[in-house]
Copies of this chain bind each other. A is one copy, B any other.
């Protein structure tokens, strides 16, 4: 694979991503991606065999972009409530604007992998769900660390951590999901966040 080829692959992933965000996973065909990228069938198939493969590679790239920032802030002794505000602010934004629009594609992608038994990803990927599950575990431990930090500083209540973490993670996912298919009132994310803050802050 030469230099030109790498660029083309990248272009394919970018264009495909915008398609997945708009139409979900199952509705995007290799033909769509041909049209979007301007490549011919033969041209596209040189790089990717299926939409599965493309989506999977996109996910790998997206997932490796997290929490170093948070760790850095805790290092610097930034007050926990300030960090909380920032994280929740970002969540609020993601719940409202369409940036959650990949959610549906992700759901479709992994649900498809489960429903039919074929796992034809060459054994490289240990099952579709495990990747998602890993991400859940990862977010969870991030929150756990962060809440401990807040409690140690006397800024957060010492409540059952797992309870509030699950609530945060799943309500966030729930809203994100529905925001892509239903008009979501701005008050909804705001109320959820307000509840979380009250539950955490002393």
Contacts and interface: CB of A to CB of B under 8 A. Distances in A.
Interface in A17-42: 22-24, 26-27
B192 A133 contact: no
Interface stretch (A6-14, A46-54, A163-171): A163-171
A123 interface: no
Interface in A163-181: 163-164, 166-167, 169-175, 177-178, 180-181
Contacts of A173: 174, 177-178
A172 B171 CA distance: 7
A160 to B, nearest CB: 7
Given A164-B195, A166-B188, A191-B160, A112 B171 contact: no
A201 interface: no
A64 interface: no
A164 B192 CA distance: 8
Chain A binding surface, main DSSP class: helix
A72 B172 CA distance: 33
A192 B170 contact: yes
Contacts of A108: 24, 26, 104, 108
A87 interface: no
Nearest to A175: B170
Nearest to A165: B191
Contact of A178 (B23, B170, B178, B192): B170
9 contacts: A22-B115, A24-B115, A114-B181, A132-B181, A133-B182, A164-B195, A167-B195, A171-B171, A199-B199
Given A24-B26, A133-B182, 20 more contacts: A23-B115, A24-B108, A24-B112, A24-B115, A26-B108, A107-B181, A110-B181, A111-B180, A114-B180, A132-B178, A136-B182, A162-B187, A163-B191, A163-B194, A164-B195, A166-B191, A170-B171, A171-B171, A173-B174, A174-B174
